[in-house]
Structure 1
Amino acid sequence: MIGSLLRVLGPEYARPVRRAVALMTVTAIAEGLSYALLIPVLRALLGPDPGSARPWLAAFGGAVAAYALLRYVADRFGFRVGTTMMRGLYRRLGGHLGRLPLGWYTAGRVGELSVLASRGVLQAMSAIAHLLSPLVSATVTPLTIAAVMTAFDWRMGLAALAAAPVVAGVQVWSGRAMTATDADRAERDHEATGRVIEYVQAQPVLRAGGRAGERFELLDASLRELSRATRRATRSALPGALGLTFTVQAVFTGLLALGAYLAVGGSLGGPELLALLVLAARCAEPVLALGEAAGKMRGAKSVLARLEAVLDTEPLPEPPAPVRPDRHDLELEEVTFTRGDRRVLDGLSLTVAEGERVAVVGPSGAGKSSLLQLVPRFYDIDAGAVRVGGVDVRAVDSAELMSRVAIVFQDVYLFDATIEENVRLGRPEATGAEVRAAAAAARLDEVVGRLPGGWAARVGEGGALLSGGERQRVSIARALLKDAPIVLLDEVTSALDPVNEAAVHEGVERLMAGRTVVMVAHRMATVRRADRVVFLDGGRIVEQGGHAELLARGGRYAAFWAASLAPVGE
């Protein structure tokens, strides 16, 4: 468990974790030793002079107070270590996820990550903050008490110590029996979480089809499987719990019988027997708690294994000796790119001169968006080269490359923050005047002016409180504020109303001025403003040239243009 935790967090956290475990161990030993004073206390109380127990009672009270202080310090330290490590894990996980290729983020993995990053991280870190101390106490305190019993009567002590391997064996057996069902339940839990998210997202479709009241069969099935997995996990836990309880009771009964035999034989006094049995009974509580703590630790270990698998995923490699491009032209040379089992780009070659505007058009699935995503190296290609300023993007530091590229996607995601904070993502160190200027250029100031709260208005999760056109204006203002020399536009006006389209077009024109631009477009009005048009189909460039030139040629682009102008239904 500790090894998995340190592998996930990194070696810099090894020292505080070891200190926490050492402090918890010392506390558990102090607890066991404090109970050793019960023997002289009971011997005096049950002897001819009960008053002689006062110094022992005082010593016992002092020992318990010392233990309580140690327990407070250990628990507080463990909690602080746990919260510190939780922050460290979030930072490491977030930094690692930011370097993984976008192709890694399948729908299933996004659902799993949402569970890991919320409930999973909290569960794993609670192992240090809340579970490790009871687990150490349940292991170390009974062994300390057994050692104390050995010091007073070796026969009773050895009998108690002999029970340790039996208890450990029951725990190992129970843990192995639970491993498979725990894994199955976790898998069903993740699947059910994904189905719940899917069901919520499908509400507009279900309601539009008049089926909002009907059951969503996939969700029902996943919840039924989760229920079955939970019942199986509960049934598999029962033998271990009952076995542990039976073992503890059997050991205590054996000690009672042994003590009675020794007392009857006269080799063990009554007060000593009573005290030793009290110590044996005190061992039972932490040992019985061991099963519950171990179960939770198994859950935390399972989460750590999944986190470790994510962190072991290889990110896009960084160049050992990064090169800084001194130009901003683009070149794709014989690029082949496969996503899954599908070849998206097949030997594609394209050059874009610095300051040139190139429009990429073509049918759906032609590879247009993938072409854009290769320039900022969202993915690594299978063959060929993608160059910025004559330098292969794989030889450019990722941060350096991204600082030279501004991207405006069709689907804009905004964080649940203020409009200003979302715009500042383009350049966090920008002044207020620069943010306002970028907003005015994108005509975002019109949106801010009519929102209650103005610049302080929050946009909701994903920008849900803004319309699609308003979100697009925020995205363009963000790109303008970044002031990057290369601009990539992915169908930014394909789903906008006329008013927002006009405003967005005005912002886009300002964004493109004097920059190297590659834009994917369906609206032909956008294509006309390009210096060159590239028609893409099947991952290859079929035609390229000026708009008028391609129309006069009467090829694929001309047919595509005619189809875009034809009234719907013809």
Structure 2
Amino acid sequence: MIGMLLRVLGRDYAQPMRRTLALMTAAAVAEGLLYALLVPVLRELFGSRPAAALPWLVAFATAFTGYGVLRYLSDRNGFRVGSAILRGMYHRLGDHLARLPIGWYDAGRVGEVSVLAGRGLLAAMSVVAHLLAPFISASVTPLTIAAVMLAYNWQLGLAALAAAPVVAAIQLWTARAMAAHDAERHERDHDAGARVIEYLQAQPVLRAGGRSAERFRLLDEALREVERVARRLTLSVLPGAVGLTLTVQAVFTGVLVLGAALALGGGIGAPELLTILVLAARCADPLLSLSDIGGKLRGARSELARLDAVLATEPLPEAAAPILPQHHGVAFESVTFRHGERTVIDEVTLEVAPGRRLAVVGPSGAGKSTLLQLLARFYDVDAGAVRVGGADVRAIATEELMARIAVVFQDVYLFDGTIEDNVRLGRPGASAAEVRAAASAARLDEVVERLPGGWSAHVGEGGALLSGGERQRVSIARALLKDAPIVLLDEVTSALDPVSEAAVHEGIERLMAGRTVVMVAHRLRTVRRAGHIVFLEDGRIAEQGSHEELLRLEGRYAAYWRLSVAALEAAAGPPIG
């Protein structure tokens, strides 16, 4: 486990951790050696001249004071290093997560990471501050005491040392038994948590359909599974805890019987026997605590293993010698991209000149949004190349690439802060006048004026206090403030009402002016204004050209256009009067 802990901590914290371990071990050894002074103390107290014990008592008090200082330094260092490591690990985990491919974040992974970044990281890092010192003390101090006993009487020392392999075997067996159920417990906890969230979020639908009782049975079954796994886990640990207690008591009894026999035979004196029994009793307490400490360590180890797995996930590689794009055009050269077993993009080749607009249309699942994600290097292609300004995006530094690209998604996520905080994400160093200008261009100032608190109004987690159109205006203002030469738009008006769509569309037009634009679009007027249109189907380019050229072809795009017009007319309804 120590090896895994040092690997998770990385080079920055591995050396302080090693010093902490050395200090904790030194304190545990000092505690064991301290009890060696009990032998001369008790020998003199029970001898003919009890006053002769005074120098030994002074030596014992001095040694105890030294041990106390060492233990204080050890514990304080453990807490300090633990706090520093926890803070550093949050930064390390956050930095690593920010570099992982977007495709790594599937639905199940997001929930797992959120638990790991909260309770999991606290549990894993609590090892340093709260568990290592007692564990080392419970392991090293009894061994040191047994060595002291061996120095005074080899028979009693060997009897005490006989417990060591048995205790180690019990701990190893318990760890394996617990590990067999720990993965299942984690999975059941995750399933139950997801079921609870699902049950709460689905209340309107379930109640409308009269299915709330059925859903409750599913939730109840998930919770029963958690209970069953917890029971099995407890039963798997129980034999080890009982076995450890019986072993320690048996060894103590054996030392007591052997000591009594040696004393009766004249092999040792009464003071030595009494000291050996005190030492044996002092060995028993920490050994018995190993069961509880070991259980906590095993729980923390499982969290460490999950943290280690996340940190071991390889991020997208950075170029050793990054190059700069020469212009603001983009191109796809025989690009193929697979997600699992499915080929999402298949041999796509197209080019957008600087300052031109490309519209990508097609049925759901055709790979339209994936093209934008490949261009922003959320993923790396499996074959071919995606180029920005003539340079392969894999050869461009990530910060340089993202500085040249502004992305506006259909689903906008806002952070729980003010509107101004969210707009400033586009360019944190922008002046107040620049923020206001971007907001005005996106027609966000209309939203600000009617909100209580104006620019200081909080948007709620995810932007929950704003409507979809209002969130989209914040996103457009953010992109305008960034002032990137390349703009990626992903169906930004597909779910908006006509009033919001008109406002957002006006902001989009200002955002696209003079920039290279690649947009995934369904709205007719957005598609028509594109200089070049690509119809994507099953990851391949079925047709491409201008709007008029594609209509003349009477192919897939023309059929799509007619369906879109018919849907728009049906939504408008018959003329009034």
What's the secondary structure of 2:358's corresponding residue? strand
Structure 2: which amino acid aligns with 1:234?
A: T
Relative distance call for 1:476 and 1:257 in structure 2 (3 A) is: same
Show the counterpart of 1:32.
32
Query: Residue 217 and residue 377 in structure 1: after superposition, are their counterparts in 2 closer, same or farther (change >3 A)?
Result: farther
- 1:246 is matched with which residue? 246
Is the CA contact (8 Å cut-off) linking 1:329 and 1:516 kept in structure 2?
A: yes
2:390 maps to which residue? 390
Other structure's SS at 1:16 match: helix
Q: Secondary structure at the match of 2:32?
A: helix
Aligned to 2:115: 115
Query: Paired residue for 1:10?
Result: 10
Deviation at 1:390, TM superposition (A): 1.7
Alpha-carbon distance in structure 2 between the residues aligned to 1:551 and 1:192: 53
Q: Tell me the distance in 1 between the aligned counterparts of 2:42 and 2:389.
A: 87
Question: Contact 1:108–1:194 at 8 Å: present in 2 too?
Answer: no
Please, which moves more after superposition, 404-413 or 303-312? 303-312
User: SS in structure 1 opposite 2:544?
Assistant: strand
Distance 1:460 1:58, change over 3 A: farther
Contact in 2 for aligned 1:374/1:380 (Cα 8 Å): yes
Say if 1:442 and 1:143 are closer, same or farther in 2 by CA, change over 3 A: same
Kindly report which structure 2 residues correspond to 1:225-374, keeping only aligned pairs within 5 A, or say none.
225-374=225-374
In structure 2, what is the equivalent of residue 519 of structure 1?
Answer: 519
Q: Which amino acid aligns with 2:105?
A: Y
Residue by residue, what CA displacement relative to the aligned partner does 1:140-183 show, whole Å, maximum 9, x if unpaired?
A: 11112122223333332232123222222222222222221223
Q: Which residue of 1 aligns with 2:508?
A: 508
Matched residues in 2 for 1:91 and 1:217: separation?
Answer: 41
Aligned twin of 1:100: 100
Q: Displacement of 1:234 after TM fit?
A: 0.6
What is the match of residue 474 of structure 1?
474
**Counterpart amino acid of residue 195 in structure 1:** R
1:345 Cα deviation (Å)?
A: 1.9
Name whichever of 390-399 and 181-190 sits farther off.
181-190
Q: Distance in 1 between matches of 2:336 and 2:280?
A: 72
Partner of 1:454: 454
Structure 2 residue matching 1:426: 3-state secondary structure: coil
Give SS of 2:324's match.
coil
* Aligned position for 1:155: 155
Look up the match of 1:223: 223
Residue of structure 1 equivalent to 2:561: 561
Compute the displacement of 1:532 (Å): 2.6
Which residue does 2:545 correspond to in 1?
Answer: 545
Aligned-residue offset at 1:512:
0.7
1:179 equivalent in alignment to 2:179: yes
- Report the counterpart of residue 143 of structure 1 in structure 2: 143
**SS in structure 2 of the partner of residue 227 of structure 1:** helix
**Is the contact made by 1:184 and 1:229 (CA closer than 8 Å) also made in structure 2?**
yes
SS of residue in 2 equivalent to 1:343: strand
In 2, the alpha carbon distance for the partners of 1:438 and 1:453 equals 19
**How big is the shift at 1:407?**
0.2
Structure 1: distance between partners of 2:130 and 2:379 = 41
Conserved 8 A contact 1:28-1:136 = yes
Q: Which residue of 2 aligns with 1:191?
A: 191
Tell me the CA shift for residue 555 of structure 1: 3.1
Determine the C-alpha separation between the residues in 1 that align with 2:371 and 2:202: 30
After superposition, the C-alpha distances for 1:240-265 in whole angstroms (9 at most, x for unaligned) are 10110000000000011011112222
Distance of 2:413 and 2:206 partners within structure 1 = 24
- In the alignment, the residues of structure 1 paired with residue 334 and residue 75 of structure 2 have an alpha-carbon distance, to the nearest angstrom, of 61
The range that moved more, 324-333 or 551-560, is 551-560
The question of whether the paired residues in 2 share the 8 Å contact of 1:20 and 1:74 is answered with yes
Look up the SS of the partner of 2:99 in the other structure. coil
* Superposition CA RMSD, Å: 2.3
**Structure 2 CA distance for partners of 1:158 and 1:354, relative to 1, 3 Å:** same
Going from structure 1 to structure 2, the CA distance change for 1:51 and 1:469 (only over 3 Å counts) comes to farther
Measured after TM superposition, the shift of residue 126 of structure 1 is 1.0
Post-superposition CA distance 1:19-63 (Å, at most 9, x none): 000110111122222333333444444455555555544444443
- Percent identical pairs in the alignment equals 70
**In 1, Cα distance between equivalents of 2:464 and 2:61:** 61
Greater CA drift, 533-542 or 511-520: 533-542
8 Å contact kept, 2:490–2:520: yes
- State the one-letter code of the partner of 1:360: V
Question: Residue deviations 1:191-214, cap 9 Å, x none?
Answer: 333333433443443344343454
CA drift at 1:216: 4.5
Of stretches 120-129 and 54-63 in structure 1, the one that deviates more from structure 2 is 54-63
Q: Secondary structure at the match of 1:348?
A: strand
User: Residue 84 of structure 1 corresponds to which residue in structure 2?
Assistant: 84
Change (3 A) 1:157 1:407: same
Report the secondary structure of 1:414's partner residue: coil
5+ residue gaps, structure 2:
none
More displaced 10-residue stretch of structure 1: 553-562 or 375-384? 553-562
SS in 2 for 1:268: coil
Deviation sequence 1:239-298 (CA, Å, 0-9, x none): 110110000000000011011112222332223322221221111111111122222222
Q: Is the 8 A contact 2:199 2:215 kept in 1?
A: no
Q: CA, structure 1 residues 58+209, in 2 after alignment: closer, same or farther (shift >3 Å)?
A: farther
Query: One-letter code of the match for 1:473?
Result: R
CA contact (8 A) 1:111 1:193 kept: no
Q: Paired residue for 1:412?
A: 412
TM-score (norm 2): 0.93
For 2:10 and 2:185, the matched residues in 1 are separated by: 28
